[in-house]
């Protein structure tokens, strides 16, 4: 507890000003979850609560993530109860039943697609779509030009945005606290290697 409590404190207003999202924002006292705000997919059909803490330190970020796992289990259990019964197909059995000389092992089936991917025309407009990813808001911005490829597109990964606060959080901290704070930000290197 001494290693995480009171380490890397981040206030709610500061978290908003930096554009943080996900557990970083909710651990700073802001109850903001896109699944509740945007009401996308079927999240509003399930009984679950936005998990948040008000302390804003590394411990609060940890507690938010642990609580979110509990809420995810609640959502999954409710979803499973809503699935109607009936016949099912075991795809693993079908895969293991294939012989070595199967046509599925042929070059054409392994490396060349038999059906082309569906294409659709992007209208001439700007689009921004966002979802609540485990680390925060994952957004995709596109500008269409009435072609099948976007004229411009950009992905807003939550890890890259959340990492920008690190220099502020490590000020006046011990060197050993840097790893604790970095771990509480919970970055993915593929998002932040720009």
Q: pLDDT digit string (tens) for 81-125?
A: 988 877 776 666 665 555 556 665 565 555 555 555 667 788 899
Task: Give me the pLDDT at residue 141, please.
Answer: 95
Task: Give me the pLDDT at residue 193, please.
Answer: 74
Task: Give me the pLDDT at residue 182, please.
Answer: 92
Task: Give me the pLDDT at residue 96, please.
Answer: 57
* CA 135 to chain CA mean position, Å: 5
- Alpha-carbon distance of 61 to 5, in angstroms, equals 10
Domain ranges of the chain: 12-192
Q: Is 189 exposed, middle or buried (0-12, 13-18, 19+ CB in 10 A)?
A: exposed
Kindly report, residue by residue over 25-78, the tens digit of the pLDDT: 999 999 999 999 999 999 999 999 999 999 999 999 999 999 999 999 999 999
- Alpha-carbon distance of 41 to 193, in angstroms, equals 31
pTM of the predicted structure, to 2 decimals: 0.78
For tokens 């046509």, name the residue. Answer: 103
Task: Give me the pLDDT at residue 84, please.
Answer: 83
- Alpha-carbon distance of 102 to 80, in angstroms, equals 36
**Does 128 score more than 90 pLDDT?**
yes
For the segment 140-146, the average pLDDT, to the nearest whole number, is 92
Options 1.10.357.10, 3.40.50.11260, 3.20.20.80, 1.10.645.10; CATH for 12-192 is: 1.10.645.10
Task: Give me the pLDDT at residue 189, please.
Answer: 82
């Amino acid at each position: 507890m001494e290693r995480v409590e009171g380490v890397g404190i981040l206030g709610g207003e500061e978290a908003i000003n930096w554009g943080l999202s996900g557990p970083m924002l909710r651990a700073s006292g802001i109850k903001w979850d896109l699944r509740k705000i945007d009401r996308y997919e079927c999240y509003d059909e399930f009984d679950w609560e936005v998990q948040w803490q008000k302390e804003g330190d590394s411990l609060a970020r940890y507690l938010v993530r642990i609580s979110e796992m509990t809420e995810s289990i609640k959502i999954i259990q409710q979803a499973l109860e809503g699935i109607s019964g009936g016949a099912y197909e075991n795809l693993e059995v079908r895969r293991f039943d294939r012989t070595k000389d199967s046509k599925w092992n042929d070059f054409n089936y392994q490396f060349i697609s038999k059906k082309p991917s569906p294409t659709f025309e992007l209208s001439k407009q700007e689009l921004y779509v966002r979802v609540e990813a485990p680390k925060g808001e994952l957004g995709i911005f596109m500008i269409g030009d009435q072609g099948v490829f976007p004229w411009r597109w950009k992905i807003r990964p939550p890890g890259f945005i959340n990492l920008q606060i690190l220099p502020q959080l490590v000020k006046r901290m011990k060197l050993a606290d840097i790893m604790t704070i970095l771990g509480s930000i919970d970055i993915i290197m593929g998002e932040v290697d720009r």
